[in-house]
């Protein structure tokens, strides 16, 4: 702007509520530069004189109406923007905040992934998943799998193998950054605990498949897909497992249908195989080295949730096709990690809503 205009008037408040207002650092830098370069101050000499004129009056030069106060966004989906292929993550995002889903998945405004020099917790989780996949099923280029049912007689061999797999999986990370030893140690400390859990588990369930990518078509044109960490088998029933190295949804959220991953996976595994899925669990691999089942869905409760979740997805997709609005929920737990916060202007419309509630105009 300085370069574009022959003459520029910058105005600023000297005081507010009787207190002196400090000029912006940009303006101070400009003034200092002018003083040093030309030896004079930038004050507009004729303006103070105008203020002392008895005929001087304040008048409003800007006659345009004030902009509308920010409102909670509720866009309707334009035809052609709906992607009718849903992962469990996309479905969850749609439930957590329809506007976030709209901006991230329909407008495709998600920021690109950052290039990281150090492993994140999500990267660590991916490595642990890979270790367990190689331990239970064949992964080209990695040691394993462990071929026999786990028991006291072969427990030491299983531990050696899983440690060897871990060393192979983390090898490149260790070469990249010495600090990654910490992640490897964390997992290796957890291996005995995992094997304890697995040994008990193998009394009733056998590993059937690991890292399975499944896709079904609940209704023509609508696809539901997911990558299941593991499917176990017991006689004529299946169990789906999801390993969690980070936050695990609470049982109450899953029971209430608010956390959809396990029911979606049960629907995928059941429809794909034509076999009853009688159990779905989260296996939490905690930071403290513990390994435990934190969420457990079984039999009728699982079947009902899987059916209800599937039906709800069909219904919600129908509503989006009918141009029903996709509102920003403003749930603080979801907002905390939201990449779309600037776009949705949550802070601005929350202020509007608060001032409306307080009886103000919101302007
Ligand atoms: S900031 Fe909150 S309300 Fe806005 S899009 Fe994100 S999750 Fe939704």
Q: 341 alpha carbon to ligand 1 midpoint, in Å?
A: 5
Least confident of 98-102, 148-152, 281-285: 148-152
**Structure confidence at residue 259 (pLDDT):** 96
Q: Which of 344, 345, 349, 353 to mutate to test the pocket of ligand 1 (most atoms within 8 A of CB)?
A: 344
Q: Which residue's CA lies nearest to atom 5 of ligand 1? A: 100
Confidence of residue 6 (pLDDT cuts 50, 70, 90): confident
Q: 94 alpha carbon to ligand 1 midpoint, in Å?
A: 11
**Structure confidence at residue 362 (pLDDT):** 41
Ligand 1, residue 72: give the atom nearest the CA.
Answer: 3
Q: 328 alpha carbon to ligand 1 midpoint, in Å?
A: 6
Confidence of residue 48 (pLDDT cuts 50, 70, 90): confident
Ligand 1, residue 338: give the atom nearest the CA.
Answer: 6
User: What is the spatial distance between Cα 25 and Cα 264, in angstroms, rounded to a whole number?
Assistant: 54
How large a percentage of the chain has pLDDT more than 70?
98
Angle of CA points 329, 335, 338, to nearest 5°: 115
User: What is the spatial distance between Cα 280 and Cα 200, in angstroms, rounded to a whole number?
Assistant: 17
User: What is the spatial distance between Cα 124 and Cα 143, in angstroms, rounded to a whole number?
Assistant: 19
User: What is the spatial distance between Cα 65 and Cα 85, in angstroms, rounded to a whole number?
Assistant: 44
Q: How far is CA 315 from CA 79, 88, 226, 319, 321, in A?
A: 17, 16, 20, 6, 10
pLDDT digits (tens, 9 = 90+) for 335-363: 999 999 999 999 999 999 998 888 754 44
Pocket of ligand 1 (CB under 6 A): 97, 99-100, 328-330, 334-335, 338, 340-341, 344, 346
User: What is the spatial distance between Cα 311 and Cα 290, in angstroms, rounded to a whole number?
Assistant: 36
**Structure confidence at residue 7 (pLDDT):** 81
Ligand 1, residue 96: give the atom nearest the CA.
Answer: 7
**Structure confidence at residue 363 (pLDDT):** 41
Specify which residues 16 forms β-bridges with: 19
Please tell me whether residue 295 adopts helix, strand or coil conformation: strand
The 3-class secondary structure across 192-240, one letter per residue, is HHHHHHHHHHCCCCEEEEEEEEEEEEEECCEEEEEEEEEEEEECCEEEE
What are 348's two structure tokens?
């601005």
**Structure confidence at residue 66 (pLDDT):** 85
Higher pLDDT: 70 or 359? It is: 70
Residue 14 has pLDDT above 70, yes or no: yes
Higher pLDDT: 315 or 55? It is: 315
Q: 288 alpha carbon to ligand 1 midpoint, in Å?
A: 32
How many Cβ atoms sit within 10 Å of the Cβ of residue 231?
24
3-state helix, strand, coil in the chain (%, to 5): 45, 15, 40
Ligand 1, residue 99: give the atom nearest the CA.
Answer: 5
Q: Which residue's CA lies nearest to atom 7 of ligand 1? A: 335
The DSSP H or E segment spanning 243 is strand 237-244
Confidence of residue 115 (pLDDT cuts 50, 70, 90): low
- The residue assigned the tokens 């004129």 is 53
- Cβ atoms of 291 and 189 within 8 Å: the answer is no
Residue 4 has pLDDT above 90, yes or no: no
Confidence of residue 144 (pLDDT cuts 50, 70, 90): confident
- Cβ atoms of 231 and 238 within 8 Å: the answer is yes
pLDDT digits (tens, 9 = 90+) for 246-301: 999 999 999 999 999 999 999 999 999 999 999 999 999 998 999 999 999 999 99
Q: Which residue's CA lies nearest to atom 2 of ligand 1? A: 335
Ligand 1, residue 97: give the atom nearest the CA.
Answer: 8
Q: 340 alpha carbon to ligand 1 midpoint, in Å?
A: 6
- Cβ atoms of 238 and 293 within 8 Å: the answer is no
First vs last C-alpha separation in the chain: 29
- Cβ atoms of 257 and 263 within 8 Å: the answer is yes
Angle of CA points 347, 17, 59, to nearest 5°: 85
User: What is the spatial distance between Cα 363 and Cα 98, in angstroms, rounded to a whole number?
Assistant: 26
pLDDT digits (tens, 9 = 90+) for 217-257: 999 999 999 999 999 999 989 999 999 999 999 999 999 99
User: What is the spatial distance between Cα 144 and Cα 152, in angstroms, rounded to a whole number?
Assistant: 19
Q: Which of 70, 105, 328 to mutate to test the pocket of ligand 1 (most atoms within 8 A of CB)?
A: 328
Cis peptide before 114, with omega less than 30 degrees from 0?
A: no
- Cβ atoms of 72 and 328 within 8 Å: the answer is yes
**Structure confidence at residue 102 (pLDDT):** 97
Q: 97 alpha carbon to ligand 1 midpoint, in Å?
A: 6
Higher pLDDT: 32 or 176? It is: 32
pLDDT digits (tens, 9 = 90+) for 79-89: 899 999 999 99
Q: Span 175-181, mean pLDDT? A: 83
How many Cβ atoms sit within 10 Å of the Cβ of residue 173?
18
């Amino acid at each position: 702007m300085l370069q574009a205009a022959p003459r520029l008037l910058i105005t600023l408040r000297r005081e507010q509520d009787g207190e002196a207002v400090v000029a912006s650092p940009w303006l101070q830098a400009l003034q200092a530069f002018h003083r040093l370069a030309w030896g004079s101050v930038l004050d507009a000499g004729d303006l103070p004189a105008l203020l002392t004129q008895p005929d001087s009056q304040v008048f409003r030069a800007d006659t345009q109406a004030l902009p509308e106060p920010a409102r909670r966004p509720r866009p309707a989906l334009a035809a052609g923007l709906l992607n009718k292929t849903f992962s469990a993550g996309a479905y969850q995002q749609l439930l957590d905040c329809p506007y976030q889903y709209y901006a991230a998945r329909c407008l495709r405004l998600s920021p690109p992934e950052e290039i990281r020099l150090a492993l994140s917790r999500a990267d660590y989780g991916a490595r642990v998943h890979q270790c367990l996949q190689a331990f239970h099923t064949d992964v080209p280029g990695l040691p394993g799998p462990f071929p026999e049912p786990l028991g006291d007689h072969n427990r030491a061999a299983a531990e050696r193998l899983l440690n060897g797999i871990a060393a192979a999986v983390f090898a490149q990370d260790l070469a990249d950054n010495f600090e990654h030893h910490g992640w490897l140690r964390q997992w290796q400390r957890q291996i005995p605990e995992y094997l304890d859990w697995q040994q008990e588990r193998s009394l009733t369930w056998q590993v059937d498949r690991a890292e399975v990518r499944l896709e079904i078509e609940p209704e023509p044109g609508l696809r539901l897909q997911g990558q299941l960490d593991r499917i176990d088998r017991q006689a004529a029933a299946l169990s789906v497992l999801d390993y969690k190295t980070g936050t695990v949804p609470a049982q109450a959220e899953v029971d209430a249908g608010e956390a959809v991953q396990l029911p979606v996976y049960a629907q995928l595994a059941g429809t794909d195989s034509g076999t009853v899925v009688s159990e779905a669990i989260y296996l939490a691999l905690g930071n403290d080295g513990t390994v435990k089942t934190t969420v457990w869905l079984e039999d009728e409760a699982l079947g009902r949730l899987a059916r209800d979740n599937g039906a709800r997805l069909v219904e919600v997709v129908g509503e989006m096709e009918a141009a029903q609005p996709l509102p920003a929920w403003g749930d603080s737990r979801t907002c905390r990690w939201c990449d779309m916060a600037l776009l949705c202007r949550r802070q601005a419309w929350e202020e509007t809503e608060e001032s409306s509630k307080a009886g103000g105009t919101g302007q």
